[in-house]
Amino acid sequence: MSEPSVLDYVKSKLAFWAHSSIEIPAPDQPAVEPDGMKDEAYAGETALAGLERAVDSAQADVVAQPRGAASGVLFALGALALALIAQLLLEPPNRAAVTAAVFYALSAVLIGMAYFRGLVVPAEIPDDPDESLAAQGPAEVSERPTAKGIDLNFLSLIVGLVLMAGAFFLFGTPPGQEVPFFDFLNTAVWLLSIGYLVRAFYQFKQRENGTVGLRARITSFLKEPRWHITFTRWTVIVLVVIGVVLFFRFYRLTSVPMNAVSDQAEKLLDVNDVLTGTYRVFFPRNTGREAFQFYWTALMVKLFDTGVTFLSLKIGTTLIGLLALYYMYRIGELIGNRWIGLLAVLFCGFSYWAQTQSRIALRFTLYAGFYAPFLYYLLRGLRRLNRNDFIWAGIWLGIGLHGYTSYRIVPFVALAGVAIYLLHNRTEKKINFALSGLLILGLVSLAVFIPLFRFALDRPDLITYRSL
């Protein structure tokens, strides 16, 4: 029988669930060694004793780790249960706000206890951006920033700035009119300015030889005579969550809620204006509203042939709510893992407030719908040092400013987020990149916001009426 190796001994110690383990037998009598070998023998015995202590410590860690994970799950479930009880106490008609606040506080205490005991650990930000980029594959290598400055297409930048200035001039309010209108010229100049500015800063991926793109993979899949589709447990769980969310968001959408009120009725008047050819930059009816929802609802009317109805408004806001859920998953996956993202989508998907905001067809949903992608790309841009993410964050910031009045606070969120990042990252490379990314984000968002920005300068009384 062959003598067990050191690896066999370590395995037997770590496999605590096994009934047998390898023990080192004590010698019958001490070995007589030459004087020159005593030091080597003593060193070997010391190393073996250290190995035994390390194995015992590793075995203890293996036993303790499941216990710590189980404790973390119990803390999380307890905090969730307390928060749900607090939410139930706020349901009409008999609301108990003080008692609900106590349960919310207890939930927060449990989360704090789990954090300070090390049972809940936030995801760590990668220390080396090159490593995080390399882990994504060769297609991302070209997006690594340099400390020399912003690598850009200078000609596209100049053209974009000139077009943006032209759009600012063309969107001025004509004499005798209350608000400016979109027409072919100012809209074309505005969209071209956005395109050129994005082209100036965008970093195109360079694929290595042998790398197959998404379009090629889809084409190859469609050409296959037989399709082989594999469903993992994760795929099934995701499909179940999607089904639950779609059920809660669309079930009886035509009748819940049944009737519109004055806010929705006045929105439908604005939608009808769009469908009849009146393309305002800002809609002054009902104390003034940003334009996005009316053009979006007009698109719903055309796509689904639902007419200028309350249902058209509800379809539009419900779809925006689904957009928010998608990026909520992406944020959860970014800062934690895919399970965190999926649970966030599940709970928000059937939550009372999120459903209510989508179904009543007011503009509340636009805030979350545009803030979620903005936040995702801002966080990912800072974590991955990816300039394209800042471009996307700027686009969503600009679109959101056309959506809902309270979104005007979000530019300050961008400033605060970058400032906090700079407090914790003091290397020259990261500082230069964060500041240049903030500049790109601001410039792109301003280009998207230009029509409403010009109107805000022309008529600050109308644009700030709801805020003040």
Q: Is pLDDT above 90 for 129?
A: no
Task: Report which of 247, 405, 237 is spatially closest to residue 318, judged by C-alpha positions.
Answer: 247
299: left (phi over 0), alpha (psi -120 to 50) or beta: alpha
Tell me the CA distances in angstroms from 281 to 120, 186, 402, 425, 438, one per residue in order: 47, 11, 9, 41, 27
pLDDT score recorded for residue 91? 87
CB distance 113 to 175 below 8 Å: no
Residue reference for tokens 């706000």: 97
∠289-372-380 over CA atoms, to 5°? 140
- Please indicate, yes or no, if residue 39 is contained in any of the structural domains: yes
- Please indicate, yes or no, if residue 42 is contained in any of the structural domains: yes
∠400-353-327 over CA atoms, to 5°? 45
Task: Write out the two tokens for 38.
Answer: 């005593």
- Please indicate, yes or no, if residue 40 is contained in any of the structural domains: yes
- Please indicate, yes or no, if residue 374 is contained in any of the structural domains: no
Task: Write out the two tokens for 306.
Answer: 């639902």
Residue reference for tokens 């956005």: 194
pLDDT band with cut points at 50, 70 and 90 for residue 323: very high
∠104-110-112 over CA atoms, to 5°? 105
- The Cα 356–Cα 364 span in angstroms is 10
- Please indicate, yes or no, if residue 252 is contained in any of the structural domains: no
Q: Which residues pair with 272 in a beta bridge?
A: none
Q: Is pLDDT above 50 for 63?
A: no
pLDDT band with cut points at 50, 70 and 90 for residue 267: very high
3-state secondary structure 360-403: CCCCHHHHHHHHHHHHHHHHHHHHHCCHHHHHHHHHHHHHHHCC
- Please indicate, yes or no, if residue 54 is contained in any of the structural domains: yes
Radius of gyration of the chain (CA): 30
β-pairing verdict for 282-283 and 289-290: antiparallel
Cβ neighbours around 205 below 10 Å, total: 14
pLDDT score recorded for residue 62? 46
Higher model confidence: residue 39 or residue 141?
Answer: 39
- The Cα 114–Cα 121 span in angstroms is 9
Higher model confidence: residue 290 or residue 46?
Answer: 290
- The Cα 442–Cα 463 span in angstroms is 20
- Domain that residue 17 falls in: 6-116
Higher model confidence: residue 426 or residue 320?
Answer: 320
pLDDT score recorded for residue 235? 93
- The Cα 467–Cα 453 span in angstroms is 15
pLDDT score recorded for residue 220? 81
Look at the chain and report how many structural domains it folds into.
1
- Please indicate, yes or no, if residue 378 is contained in any of the structural domains: no
Summarize pLDDT for 239-265 with one digit per residue, the tens.
999 999 999 999 999 999 988 899 999
pLDDT score recorded for residue 365? 93
Task: Find the mean pLDDT for residues 93-111.
Answer: 93
In three-state secondary structure terms, 181 is: strand
Q: Is pLDDT above 80 for 269?
A: yes
Summarize pLDDT for 161-208 with one digit per residue, the tens.
999 999 999 999 988 889 999 999 999 999 999 999 999 999 887 665
- The Cα 453–Cα 178 span in angstroms is 15
Q: What is the model's pTM?
A: 0.75
- Please indicate, yes or no, if residue 184 is contained in any of the structural domains: no
Task: Report which of 37, 35, 24, 118 is spatially closest to residue 75, judged by C-alpha positions.
Answer: 118
Task: Write out the two tokens for 101.
Answer: 């606040």
In three-state secondary structure terms, 290 is: strand
